[in-house]
Amino acid sequence: MASPAIAPGAELDGFTIGECVHRGGMATLWAATHAGITVPLLMKIPRVAGSGAGG
């Protein structure tokens, strides 16, 4: 299995990625933070199929 392109500490559109909370077959859930937002956040990042998948 390839390593994820997202890692803790990465920034994505103003969000800072935290720990991986869950890794499923279709997406990965990451804890996230954003300046000015004080509630806990989760970011769902879909998995992208490699070559040979799909129709």
Query: Is 53 a residue whose pLDDT tops 70?
Result: no
Is the pLDDT at 51 greater than 60? The verdict is no
pLDDT at 43: 96
Question: Angle at CA 6, nearest 5°, toward 45 and 28?
Answer: 35
Per-residue DSSP letters for 2-35? PPPS--TT-EETTEEEEEEEEE-SSEEEEEEEET
Strand partners, 45: 28
Give the span between the Cα atoms of 55 and 52, in whole angstroms: 8
The average pLDDT across 6-26 equals: 94
Query: What band does 32 get if pLDDT is binned at 50, 70 and 90?
Result: very high
Q: Cα(52)–Cα(21) distance, rounded to whole angstroms?
A: 28
Residue 1 has pLDDT above 90, yes or no: no
